[in-house]
Amino acid sequence: MKRKSYQSVWDAIEPSASEAASMKVRAQMMIAIQQTVDDWGVTQTVAAKRLGLTQPRMSDLLRGRISKFSLDSLMNLASQAGLAVRVRVSRKAA
């Protein structure tokens, strides 16, 4: 049996390269937002108010329920959390 290797788990489980790329970025943004919220040292309710979310939605974010958040919504949340978001687009290596 031949082994196949992937650069990330998303490359292995997503059906296309574009969907894997989206999931990678969404995961990175969720982690950054989660770390920021953890650094605040406040309750989920207080953090939710700071980010303009409901507490159940905040719970989804902190539990990593990535399928419930679009890239747009995560970019907005990152901004609300005081994070700077930069996008870099480049060509794939040949």
pLDDT of the residue at 45 = 95
Q: Tell me what pLDDT residue 14 has.
A: 72
Q: How far apart are CA 25 and CA 48, in angstroms?
A: 22
How far apart, in whole angstroms, are the C-alpha atoms of residue 92 and residue 36? 31
Q: 10-residue block means of pLDDT along the chain (94 residues)? A: 76 75 91 97 96 96 94 95 89 76
CA 81 to chain centre: 13
Domains of the chain and any CATH numbers: 16-80 (1.10.260.40)
Q: Is the pTM of this model over 0.85?
A: no
